[in-house]
Structure 1
Amino acid sequence: MIKENLNSIQQDIPNHVTLVAVSKTKPIADIQEAYDAGQRVFGENKVQEMVTKYDALPKDIEWHMIGHLQRNKVKYMAHFVDLIHGVDSLKTLQEINKQAKKHNRVINCLLQARIAEEETKFGLSFDDIQEIVNDESFIELTNIKVVGLMGMATFTDNQAQIKKEFTSLESFFDTIKVEVKNNFELKILSMGMSGDYQLAIDCGSTMVRIGSSIFGARNYFV
């Protein structure tokens, strides 16, 4: 079933859009099945779970950390993580840079913009993002590279509301991406999940994160 679900979604997604298969809470066997069907990019929201899966699965998998990141957990994945979504502070970037340096790596990151109207403690305002990029200490972070922005729309059935939020992020992305630095070159606009990825792509998303539509509903009590 996973293979059929993947094939169906891949037919929906243009070639320029990256599909991140959200495998959080799913067993290694399910990820292997998706891998065997050709999927190579997987997203996890807990560092320890991702480390366990990294150790057990093929090494050409591209692992994305998509959950909110605690700074004290960065060290456990710094040797292999490909992209960290949801970075929402300069301090977190500094910690990622510190740990990446120990492994002689440059770790790619997305800054998380807060675009939803519902209350959330995570994410940066557009002004916050601009401040980070212009901060003198940011340019010194040579072991990270901010390669894009990420945002999650309000959890609602109101398509006009979702579209408004996606469009606002696309507009800001287009504005700020001209500010290229050694460690700041925006290429990825990550918007859209199982319920709204088609609208997100219409609004300019180049990366979508899809879990339940590939793997089925999650059982958080396992």
Structure 2
Amino acid sequence: MSHEASRSTIAENIARVRERLADACRRAGRSPDQVTLIAVSKTKPLDAIAAAAACGLHDFGENRVQEALTKIPHAPPQLRWHLIGHLQSNKAKPAVEHFHLIHTVDSPALAQRLDRLAQERQKTQPVLLQVKLGDEATKSGVAPTALPALYAAVRALPNLRVCGLMTIPPFCPDPEAVRPYFRHLRELRDALQAAFPSDDLPELSMGMSHDFEVAVEEGATLIRVGTAIFGDR
């Protein structure tokens, strides 16, 4: 595929995703402005990122800090970067330096390390708590029963700001089969909000290329879309 063809394909794909998003918001009685589309650019080259940015996308998601560091310095400077993969504590420093939002905090130890590093940089680091709602051994995240304790620990850290929750449900070809997981994440967030009424927990990071409409219907505010924008890996 030629360079120009790939740019136009990405533009067409983004238009389709925006259409699907608008339809899902209509069904849910929501505004598309309430949902941030994150283009998942892991394994994708800089020219693909530039093509997506040229279509007005500002938010990009990377799974690995190391890979992201090869792209961020060369990408358009206005982009916001989201860390959506598991964060090892030895990569916490560059994560705090370069990521607008870290979606995958799942332990007090990791949170404390991020807090110290954010303090060194004199910044407040926005984070999401990753909740494990399936029983897959390969997935990270805190168990729902342990979420209130983790939230209480992280909200007490002065240089982190918990903005909400994130989950990666088990993959199901039928998006409807995933709906209960998305609903469960929203209910967990609502329970935290009720327990801490003065806190602000607006964000639910959930939904990917094949199931984001269902996620939006269940309250997603951040959807992580890779294949539907950039094509298969």
The one of 217, 228, 232 aligned to 1:202: 217
The one of 153, 157, 161 aligned to 2:173: 157
User: Which stretch has the larger CA shift, 11-20 or 141-150?
Assistant: 11-20
Counterpart AA for 1:144: L
Q: Is the 8 A contact 1:179 1:185 kept in 2?
A: no
Q: CA deviation at 1:99?
A: 1.1
User: Which stretch has the larger CA shift, 201-210 or 161-170?
Assistant: 161-170
Task: Please state whether the residue corresponding to 1:118 is helix, strand or coil.
Answer: coil
The one of 140, 143, 147 aligned to 1:125: 143
User: Which stretch has the larger CA shift, 165-174 or 187-196?
Assistant: 165-174
**Structure 2 match to 1:67:** 85
- Give 1:91-170 correspondences, 5 Å limit: 91-135=109-153, 138-170=154-186
TM-score, length-scaled by structure 1 = 0.90
Q: CA deviation at 1:134?
A: 2.8
- With over 3 angstroms needed to count, the CA separation of the structure-2 counterparts of 1:179 and 1:60, relative to structure 1, is farther
**Structure 2 match to 1:19:** 37
**Structure 1 match to 2:4:** none
Unmatched 5+ stretches in structure 2:
1-8, 22-31
**Structure 2 match to 1:76:** 94
Which protein is richer in helix relative to its size? 2
Counterpart AA for 1:116: G
The one of 67, 71, 84 aligned to 1:53: 71
Task: Please state whether the residue corresponding to 2:70 is helix, strand or coil.
Answer: helix
TM-score, length-scaled by structure 2 = 0.86
Q: CA deviation at 1:169?
A: 1.3
Q: CA deviation at 1:72?
A: 0.7
Cα-to-partner distance string for 1:52-105 (whole Å, 9 max, x where unaligned): 211111221000001000011011232231000111101111111111111111
Q: CA deviation at 1:178?
A: 3.1
**Structure 1 match to 2:51:** 33
Q: Is the 8 A contact 1:193 1:210 kept in 2?
A: yes
The sequence identity of aligned pairs, in percent, is 37
**Structure 1 match to 2:15:** 7
Rounded to whole Å, the distance in 2 between the matches of 1:172 and 1:139 is 16
Task: Please state whether the residue corresponding to 1:94 is helix, strand or coil.
Answer: helix
The one of 155, 171, 176 aligned to 2:192: 176
Rounded to whole Å, the distance in 2 between the matches of 1:24 and 1:5 is 17
Task: Please state whether the residue corresponding to 1:97 is helix, strand or coil.
Answer: helix
Q: CA deviation at 1:21?
A: 0.3
Rounded to whole Å, the distance in 2 between the matches of 1:27 and 1:71 is 26
Unmatched 5+ stretches in structure 1:
none
Rounded to whole Å, the distance in 2 between the matches of 1:201 and 1:80 is 27
**Structure 2 match to 1:87:** 105
Rounded to whole Å, the distance in 2 between the matches of 1:128 and 1:64 is 24
Q: Is the 8 A contact 2:175 2:210 kept in 1?
A: no
Rounded to whole Å, the distance in 2 between the matches of 1:199 and 1:57 is 31
Rounded to whole Å, the distance in 2 between the matches of 1:159 and 1:8 is 18
Task: Please report the RMSD computed on the Cα atoms of aligned residues, expressed in angstroms.
Answer: 1.7
Q: CA deviation at 1:181?
A: 8.3
Task: Please state whether the residue corresponding to 1:189 is helix, strand or coil.
Answer: strand
Rounded to whole Å, the distance in 1 between the matches of 2:229 and 2:139 is 28
Cα-to-partner distance string for 1:174-196 (whole Å, 9 max, x where unaligned): 111234489x6311011100111
Rounded to whole Å, the distance in 2 between the matches of 1:168 and 1:98 is 32
